[in-house]
Amino acid sequence: MGAKLLVVDDDQDVRSVVEGTLVDAGYRVLQAQGGAQALALLDGHPSLRVMISDVRMPDMSGIALAEEAVRRRPDLRVILISGFIDQVRPRWPFLRKPFLSSKLCDLVAREMRRA
């Protein structure tokens, strides 16, 4: 089975679609509905290599989550996704929703090689 990924989004439908795409590509996927749950999963699953997170979530922004996640796990690769073009320029790879499954898989494969 492939490497483990974490998908974080407050929208269950988005999480399910992203998970399905990644499982079909051979990855093992965990889901979190927000920042607090994502950090708990990261702490409990040291084999997680890539986190894909929405930028706008109610409990914690994806950027704040990424900063804390990388502080705890410097080797973690982060991909941010959003339907909005924010003024903030994240330091992590970014995909604008909606995105093609092939774009997501290509970006995940690239980040896995860098992990």
Residue 22: pLDDT over 60? yes
The yes/no answer on whether domain 4-114 falls in CATH 3.40.50.300 is no
- What's residue 23's pLDDT? 96
Distance, in Å, from the CA atom of 63 to the CA atom of 53, rounded to the nearest integer, reads 8
User: What value does the mean pLDDT take over residues 43-61?
Assistant: 94
Count Cβ atoms below 10 Å from residue 8 Cβ, excluding itself.
31
CA distance 101 to 88: 25
Sheet containing 48-54: give its strands across: 28-32, 4-8, 48-54, 77-82, 94-96
Reported as a single tens digit per residue, the pLDDT across 76-96 is 999 999 988 765 677 899 999
- What is the spatial distance between Cα 8 and Cα 35, in angstroms, rounded to a whole number? 7
